[in-house]
Structure 1
């Protein structure tokens, strides 16, 4: 049994002071310091179990962060298609407070994408959603590769398919020659792996659009609108058919104009969940404030969309087979196109808090509860509720990470801590 004392425990709507978080592999509960001290000082145990105590030293204690959309970091990329890449990402991410993530693919050839998806499958956590009960409870099943699936840090929850079902007009830093028209047959062998698929709805005839969204929903795959030139009306129709998510709001999409609201306008005018890259390069701080006022903390998911150069010095890197030049915190192709971000999730949280005035519980919600709810995993991750996995992050007012726990095990300790 483990206890965290002297922490400011972050819940979805408030911060608890003067309480103790108890956990082993899962969260046991939260008790008052007085109750804890009564047992601890007398027996050095909690309900008969020996205790390991961590002093949070007045810092925040929250659920572990979930990075829903990340291509790479620390020199590794999802499209490398091997366990060493995913493990490098996993180990780096816990240093940023992330305890679970969706590795994101790029617009490459289908065989290359399938290879990357197969490797993600082999490294996935055993937590899955029961497909036959779309709104039913989470069921834990054994991963066929379970004995080889554990990574050194953050858990892999599945894959984020960004491309190849996108618009050439808003391809961003993705190769146009690999773009294909959306067809469920391209992903039918990986429905257990893919959690989110990005779609430009204008690339399909309407009946085929409806059919694709319907098939994705039947397999609990979230359809995200993005990399798209869709106008407002089509985007709203796609949402009505079941698209429920928007990929990096503002970026690689038809923008907001007072006569042609575009995909961005539809995203703000409907109940879709919107990703946001809060690195202050992809989206201006003033626009971040506007989005926050419209969508609220319940409608935003902070992501990084980072590429392999995240966490590395300036220099030359690679994204989807394209040369990327990294300088002064920006990653760009030779033509100047932004090629993903270099931001970490804890830094994005700091930026968003500073830009909007959002509270710490709100910012934490945008990297924990929202993601877990959307993935259908909120009973298992994304909260400090009893029974949830003990994925925990300790951080300060500047979102500097001090400790990270995955399934109750400390996987990162800031070297500046004695």
Structure 2
């Protein structure tokens, strides 16, 4: 008899875009999902979910921060343990929204800051918080004409500075898991070749770019595999010159979108989800204003100007320039259902399975034996009721 064995029963599982009525067995000792033949064992603790929905723990692929913490503010000679405390603050907010794993995005900063910030973002775990899975460096190899809120003064061309000099070889090996770059810049093709050869674990995504469809396709064929917040900070989709956005329909790349109702019109969320349901990915692109009150807030290492938060909209004060989002990932999922009419499991897939596939996370993102027992328990409206990590409940809605 295995006293660590538990079973969710009387529930619906989010599996490949469908809601399936099925029990789910997992081990708290191993922290993994187990095969269903364990139903024959005695002593299994059965947890009746009364028809609720079990989703894989959500994966937050692109967050610049939240709850007052922006990742450009790390490694500034703060008090010992202060950076750890800030990251833990983010991890604890994430679990309140069903997130069990997240990648910290570092937007473009001064070239001397990369080697200071990125090491702080090596994968790590937190007690009762979501796991930090590494860093996403969004810059500085971006096109100034599509910089969005990034500082033009800090942008670099790949031909002029190597990733080893910029980020550091150790960080490319240990911390960096995703790089967003503009494929049309001088040296970008050689950079993609180099990254694929020397750091094959790093996923290359195309964004903040004025690249043509043909330029983007050429880099995908070299090994790049994603588009970063498609439609935002890239050429618009034109019927004769489709740009990077036209690559969505090729089946050759994943593509992230921000379904907050601000960055994309709801009709485009529908277009993105229907184009390739297994390649569409939801991101929040959240900034540190997420979780803070509305109003004017100060700048930071990415943005020197003051910032205005109005609901989920965050802009540079006095402009219409969006600086990211304030939406949470569970809210993005609910928005997608409302915008597109898809079922809840289809929306959940874009925040779990698709991201795990893109990032080659073989132990997360799916409800199948051998994967981590990381779960978000939802009601039928997509509201997160409980979050479980490694087979243990770490948060529950009061």
> What is the match of residue 342 of structure 2?
358
1:191-270 superposed matches below 5 A: 191=172, 192-204=174-186, 208-218=187-197, 219=199, 220-270=201-251
> What is the match of residue 9 of structure 2?
5
1:157-189 deviation digits (Å, cap 9, x = unpaired): 111111111111111111111111123222333
> What is the match of residue 151 of structure 2?
175
- Structure 2 Cα separation of the partners of residues 202 and 20 of structure 1: 47
> What is the match of residue 163 of structure 1?
139
296, 303, 311: which one aligns with 1:321: 303
> What is the match of residue 26 of structure 1?
31
> What is the match of residue 58 of structure 1?
51
2:282 equivalent to 1:302: yes
- Structure 1 Cα separation of the partners of residues 139 and 152 of structure 2: 10
2:72 equivalent to 1:79: yes
2:94–2:129 CA contact under 8 A, matched in 1:
yes
- Structure 2 Cα separation of the partners of residues 15 and 336 of structure 1: 40
Q: 1:78 Cα deviation (Å)? A: 1.9
Q: 1:26 Cα deviation (Å)? A: 2.5
1:60–1:394 CA contact under 8 A, matched in 2:
yes
Q: 1:396 Cα deviation (Å)? A: 1.2
1:43-80 deviation digits (Å, cap 9, x = unpaired): 6x13xxxx3x5442321011101011111111112222
Runs of 5+ in structure 1 lacking a partner? 126-148
- Number of equivalenced pairs: 373
2:33–2:372 CA contact under 8 A, matched in 1:
no
1:311-390 superposed matches below 5 A: 311-317=291-297, 318=299, 320-322=302-304, 323-334=306-317, 335-378=319-362, 380-390=363-373
- Structure 2 Cα separation of the partners of residues 27 and 333 of structure 1: 44
Say which is worse superposed, 179-188 or 244-253, in terms of deviation: 179-188
1:307–1:342 CA contact under 8 A, matched in 2:
yes
1:90–1:151 CA contact under 8 A, matched in 2:
no
Q: 1:18 Cα deviation (Å)? A: 5.0
Name the Cα RMSD after superposition: 2.0
Runs of 5+ in structure 2 lacking a partner? 75-82
1:8–1:15 CA contact under 8 A, matched in 2:
yes
Q: 1:262 Cα deviation (Å)? A: 1.5
2:7–2:23 CA contact under 8 A, matched in 1:
no
Q: 1:31 Cα deviation (Å)? A: 4.0
In the superposition, relative to structure 1, how do residues 199 and 28 fare at CA in structure 2: closer, same or farther (>3 Å)? closer
In the superposition, relative to structure 1, how do residues 100 and 28 fare at CA in structure 2: closer, same or farther (>3 Å)? closer
Q: Secondary structure at the match of 1:236?
A: helix
263, 274, 279: which one aligns with 1:293: 274
- Structure 1 Cα separation of the partners of residues 263 and 235 of structure 2: 15
In the superposition, relative to structure 1, how do residues 397 and 165 fare at CA in structure 2: closer, same or farther (>3 Å)? same
Q: 1:113 Cα deviation (Å)? A: 2.4
171, 180, 201: which one aligns with 1:190: 171
Say which is worse superposed, 177-186 or 399-408, in terms of deviation: 177-186
Q: 1:13 Cα deviation (Å)? A: 4.7
Q: 1:303 Cα deviation (Å)? A: 0.7
Q: Secondary structure at the match of 1:339?
A: strand
Q: 1:270 Cα deviation (Å)? A: 5.0
Larger helix percent: 1
> What is the match of residue 98 of structure 1?
99
